[in-house]
Amino acid sequence: MYIAQATADILRQNDERFSLVFASHLVAAPAASEARITIDDAKIIGQALVEVLLATMTRFPFPPLGDVAPRLHEMASGLAPRAAIDRAFVAACQDIFPAPGRGMTVNAWRELLTWFLTATPPADRRDA
């Protein structure tokens, strides 16, 4: 829960120092390399991410994420319940970073969140 809440807090800050701050939180977290984010943690992070994405959609060119983008627009119009957004977000994350068990690795989350902020898909960064 520490990592999920810290991530949500950092996302809500929505500033350019994100990468440094997020990395320092991961380093400070006990056994960060072993930590896993559960579906419940994903909901905490997903809610914060949805808020940030809605607030910054017009400023940054985010990559398409399956059915998440249309659902974000629906939510912005008040047409979709937040639980539907959370499920779509978690499903998109699982598609992008499949992981065994109920959780995703912290490194996978860091890559996903960096992707949102830089609009550079992880595969493209690895090939560069």
Residues 33 and 100 sit within 8 Å (Cβ to Cβ): no
**Which residues, other chains included, contact 71 with Cβ-Cβ below 8 Å and sequence gap of 6+?**
80, 84, 85, 88
Which helix H or strand E contains 104, and what residues bound it?
strand 104-105
**pLDDT at res. 92:** 54
**pLDDT at res. 84:** 54
Residues 36 and 105 sit within 8 Å (Cβ to Cβ): yes
Give, for all 128 residues of the chain, the pLDDT tens digit.
Answer: 555 666 666 666 654 444 444 444 444 444 444 445 555 565 566 666 656 555 544 444 444 444 445 555 554 555 555 555 455 555 555 554 444 444 545 555 556 555 555 444 445 433 33
**pLDDT at res. 88:** 54
Residue 36's beta-bridge partner residues? 105
Q: What does the domain layout of the chain look like in residue ranges?
A: 2-127
Report d(CA 95, CA 42) in Å as an integer.
14
**Which residues, other chains included, contact 76 with Cβ-Cβ below 8 Å and sequence gap of 6+?**
54, 57
**pLDDT at res. 23:** 42
**Structure tokens, 20:** 């440094």
**pLDDT at res. 93:** 53
CA 2, 43, 64, 99 dihedral sign is positive
Report d(CA 114, CA 74) in Å as an integer.
24
